[in-house]
Structure 1
């Protein structure tokens, strides 16, 4: 295969030698059992990416506890022995196909649309989320106003993330990614208008990033050496595509420095609902990905339109990131790295794959209709 494109060059992430710079971005699939146990179909789904040449696969958001973290009905968890056993079949399938599998740990906080354990939502402050719930994930209408979290709630959240990371080790994952992006709980602490706290978790970015850093530190304390611990960050959110960190470069530097000091192994900078070009560049001209890379020296994953080979080359050659995560284009092209290597045109993403719901069953029906 040709290696002329920089995305096809190898890269070492922790103990793992990746054959290219491509990664599968986390995408919610709501296709686990009602109890949150991964299914055989999920194992086939994730293995298909590794078989298609993606060396790094990051899972959908996984809820870490049986209290407030679940965001969607039929979302997978990592909070029980049954969850661990279910995920073990997924990790084995991906490893058999030659891939590295990282489980994304996600606490939905105020943006929970379905939780089989409770109807209560928690958040840094009692602020009603903007926008409305997403129908493709089973929601409708405005989000309820959450309960502001106590110090005990914060301690429980940190403990839940750490316990789920330990479960991820037992399930055979190669690492975990802490979801501190896209408007979910840790990002609700990072975002100024959803975090109105007056204690050490509120105020400037150095305080607002504190919970995410504590989660990373707690996970690193319970996982073995060499187990990857990454963090996903974003400015935009599933319910707010226009938000930007109010102090730009200063906020970015404060967040990245805190996470690096906590022991993060990589940073994954996402562009929820937007192209990297639309969200990455700050007022001073620098990009949020290049700042992360220059300031911390950590590997950085860029997200947002990275299936575009021209953009991907610009991002890599320009020093903006080390790796590229691909979402919807990977759904349409699970063999995307192989297609790029052979200079084969990519199939366009069809929103019918997600309509009316973002389930694996829906994708199967969509494919069958195309073959009919």
Structure 2
């Protein structure tokens, strides 16, 4: 049997705490900048997420959702979970997904210094007043050019950020979501605290890695305190949208400290290290970073990066590197990917043109029309 036949291990059901997944294929969070200007999800977004549910995915994780109405928004037309209108819009999305029996988790994201579009127009904030590396992302509505240096956050700012995450998680439960995922990856605010060169603080949040992971842990514990057994995952990465080469400076020792601080999470979601996951995610010891996350945290782990390669995907699961696989571009190209794997049908290749000139749902629909999809 080949890995495209029914024997593929990703087709096995899995219990992610209280979430019962029909299989181990998850839709990864992907920014689509297609909400209304005030951050309310649309009918088009409900149809977008419903397509993945109907396509057989075992779990859907939303795009990053901003959790407060001050500094957290990263992109114009990014959805929020702040107002009653936001909650009502997301309830329609959740209902559309639940109609196919698929659980859906809301990813909560504070952009911090990487905000390139905030409808409120407020200044950016970060752990330290250090200009982010790289350039704003045009695909997500950025004007190009460098980001501004953020204002260094005060203790009061930190408390406000935590309160925003908690309020948004509470709103997610009201909207009917099956859980939330804290976005601690890819260069956004929580990852800015975790990263040594963007965090030059001298207080309890700066210095050694056990201090730099403290804010992520505090957000996790605060949501836990508010919502009890409601599933709460945490997404982590070494690389960032504005720095693809960064690695935790302490290597495996840093990884162990980070994972040990987050054992209250329902799961850990380790974001892409590269398409050849089993090589690029490998530590000097020979273990993969996801394998280490499973060992240290004792929690289920979702692996992300090149999982549309079905041979690699099978190896990640059977080799004990992860429990669930999340797909980004593979899911965009194949919203029915699990159904295709079940039947042995060929997978479509991802065409980056579907995200140009912007990564919106309108641009994807225009691409499909041109391509006759």
Residue in structure 2 matched with residue 179 of structure 1 by the alignment: 183
Residue in structure 2 matched with residue 143 of structure 1 by the alignment: 147
Tell me if structure 1 keeps the 8 A contact 2:274–2:306: no
Residue in structure 1 matched with residue 297 of structure 2 by the alignment: 296
Residue in structure 2 matched with residue 100 of structure 1 by the alignment: 103
Tell me if structure 1 keeps the 8 A contact 2:6–2:342: yes
CA distance in 2: counterparts of 1:126 and 1:173, whole angstroms: 35
**How does the TM-score come out when normalised to structure 1?**
0.97
Q: CA deviation at 1:183?
A: 0.2
Q: Where does the alignment leave 5 or more consecutive residues of structure 2 unmatched?
A: none
Residue in structure 2 matched with residue 310 of structure 1 by the alignment: 311
Q: CA deviation at 1:15?
A: 1.4
**How does the TM-score come out when normalised to structure 2?**
0.97
SS at match of 2:101: coil
1:93 to 1:224, Cα distance in 2 relative to 1, 3 A: farther
- Which of 37, 40, 44 pairs up with 1:37? 40
SS at match of 1:230: strand
Tell me if structure 1 keeps the 8 A contact 2:273–2:280: no
Alignment of 1:49-68 (within 5 A): 49-68=52-71
Q: CA deviation at 1:274?
A: 4.9
Tell me if structure 2 keeps the 8 A contact 1:50–1:94: yes
CA distance in 2: counterparts of 1:76 and 1:325, whole angstroms: 21
Which consecutive segments of 4 or more residues in structure 1 shift more than 4 A?
272-275
Residue in structure 2 matched with residue 76 of structure 1 by the alignment: 79
1:2 to 1:347, Cα distance in 2 relative to 1, 3 A: closer
SS at match of 2:91: helix
Q: Deviations over 1:215-237 (max 9, x none)?
A: 00111112252x21000000000
1:126 maps onto 2:129 in alignment: yes
Tell me if structure 2 keeps the 8 A contact 1:70–1:112: yes
Alignment of 1:319-330 (within 5 A): 319-330=320-331
Q: CA deviation at 1:343?
A: 1.2
CA distance in 1: counterparts of 2:34 and 2:371, whole angstroms: 21
1:221 maps onto 2:225 in alignment: yes
1:283 maps onto 2:284 in alignment: yes
Q: Give the number of equivalent residue pairs.
A: 369
CA distance in 2: counterparts of 1:17 and 1:66, whole angstroms: 33
Tell me if structure 2 keeps the 8 A contact 1:238–1:272: no
Tell me if structure 1 keeps the 8 A contact 2:19–2:178: no
Residue in structure 2 matched with residue 370 of structure 1 by the alignment: 371
CA distance in 1: counterparts of 2:350 and 2:283, whole angstroms: 29
Residue in structure 1 matched with residue 341 of structure 2 by the alignment: 340
Q: CA deviation at 1:275?
A: 4.2
Tell me if structure 2 keeps the 8 A contact 1:183–1:237: yes
Tell me if structure 1 keeps the 8 A contact 2:36–2:42: yes
Q: CA deviation at 1:363?
A: 0.6
Q: CA deviation at 1:97?
A: 1.4
Q: Deviations over 1:249-298 (max 9, x none)?
A: 111111111011xx210000001665424531112222110001011210
SS at match of 2:235: strand
1:111 maps onto 2:114 in alignment: yes
SS at match of 1:235: coil
CA distance in 2: counterparts of 1:273 and 1:92, whole angstroms: 34
Tell me if structure 1 keeps the 8 A contact 2:27–2:61: yes
Tell me if structure 2 keeps the 8 A contact 1:241–1:274: no
Residue in structure 1 matched with residue 193 of structure 2 by the alignment: 189
CA distance in 1: counterparts of 2:274 and 2:203, whole angstroms: 32
Residue in structure 2 matched with residue 19 of structure 1 by the alignment: 22
Residue in structure 2 matched with residue 205 of structure 1 by the alignment: 209
Tell me if structure 2 keeps the 8 A contact 1:3–1:9: no
